[in-house]
């Protein structure tokens, strides 16, 4: 079995575990009825960002297999939240270029919200 295929399998399994955890975590927090703010998503995003920070630090100082990295970062944390990768990218940019870090943050936030709006409007247009 090729390394690329092994990595793809690792990402798939990690993604499944991360997605299942996100589903149950968000559902659990939602059942607490804390209002309309998406606390469950905020929780998994912050938790995922926390974990990617830990893993990045560990991977920077230890020899870890590419397959395990793919399982944990692209798979598990990607399934748990895509926000963790954005957070790591922003952190790394802050270390090299404040301007690029700010551009990255604003582009991701504004762009994501904008395309939610565009997707919503297009869907409503085609549903009618």
User: Is 40 flagged in the annotation as binding?
Assistant: no
DSSP 32: T
* Residue-wise pLDDT tens digits, 38-88: 889 989 999 999 999 999 999 999 999 999 999 999 999 999 987 888 898
Whole-prediction pTM: 0.79
What is the torsion angle, in degrees rounded to the nearest 10, for the CA atoms of residue 90, residue 69, residue 74 and residue 45? -50
* Residue-wise pLDDT tens digits, 102-115: 999 999 899 999 99
Most distant pair of Cα atoms in the chain: their distance: 55
What the block records as the tokens of 114 is: 């904008």
* Angle separating helix axes 98-127 and 83-96, nearest 10 degrees: 150
Contacts of 12 (CB under 8 A, 6+ apart): 75
Domain extents in the chain:
3-81
User: Is 81 flagged in the annotation as binding?
Assistant: yes
């Amino acid at each position: 079995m090729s390394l690329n295929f092994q990595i793809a399998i690792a990402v798939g399994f990690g993604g499944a575990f991360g997605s299942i955890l996100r589903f149950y975590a968000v559902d659990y927090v939602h059942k607490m009825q804390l209002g309309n703010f998406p606390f469950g998503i905020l929780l998994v995003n912050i938790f995922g960002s926390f974990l990617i920070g830990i893993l990045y630090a560990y991977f920077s100082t230890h020899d870890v297999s590419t397959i395990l990295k793919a399982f944990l970062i692209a798979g598990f944390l990607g399934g748990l939240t895509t926000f963790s990768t954005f957070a790591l990218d922003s952190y790394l940019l802050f270390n090299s270029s404040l301007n690029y870090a700010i551009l990255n943050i604003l582009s991701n936030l504004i762009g994501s919200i904008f395309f939610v709006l565009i997707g919503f409007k297009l869907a409503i247009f085609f549903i009618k």
